[in-house]
Amino acid sequence: PEVSLLQKPLGLPCGALRYTSFHEPIDPLVEFIEPLLESSRVTKAFDGFKTKHNKKYADENEHFKRMNIFRDNLRFINSLNRQHKSFSVGVNHLTDLNDEEISVFLGTKHTKTHDEPDEGSGGYNNDDDDDESDDFEGADKSTFDWRDYGAITPVKDQTALCG
């Protein structure tokens, strides 16, 4: 590789990296030994989260529901990070959402293939009367575009997650 790629830019100070997240890692035993201390740490982290991501909730019940989800997600985040994997995870704008709410952002659901049994049929989806294949006859395969057949939808939620 080119040596200049490995050199520190002029004027960039060297030093220890600072912990950049606004929440402290949670020791799972502290929750049992010092529940009030841990509760205040989570409340402080949640307040910082709400400020950073401009979160507002309809009422106090919603606020406490979201804070409990946030607490559970913090446990998950810290549990994963303690495993010293090749990646780390952190708090983001989705940390107050439960699994069902997050799944909305994950794309399409699994589509059954011809090799998988139909639900309740006890058999496989091997329909010989494949009427849909007739719709594609005569299509120019060098320029085939699923959008022309309404088989795919436009890009969704890209601005919310990608920039």
155 vs 41, higher pLDDT: 41
Residue 69, burial from CB neighbour count under 10 angstroms (0-12, 13-18, 19+):
middle
Report pLDDT digits (tens) over 45-54: 999 999 999 9
CATH number of 36-107: 1.10.287.2250
- Summary mean pLDDT of the chain: 74
- CA–CA gap between residue 23 and residue 26 (Å, rounded): 9
User: Closest Cα partner for 135 from 124, 126, 148, 123?
Assistant: 148
Q: Which of 13-27, 52-66, 142-156 has the highest mean pLDDT?
A: 52-66
Report pLDDT digits (tens) over 86-107: 888 889 999 999 998 988 877 7
Instruction: Yes or no: say if 78 and 30 are a contact pair by the CB < 8 Å rule.
Output: no
- CA–CA gap between residue 66 and residue 47 (Å, rounded): 11
Mean pLDDT of the region 25-43:
76
Q: Identify residue 161 by its one-letter amino acid code.
A: L
- CA–CA gap between residue 53 and residue 117 (Å, rounded): 44
Domain residue extents for the chain: 36-107
Mean pLDDT of the region 6-30:
59
Model confidence at 31, pLDDT cuts 50, 70, 90, reads: confident
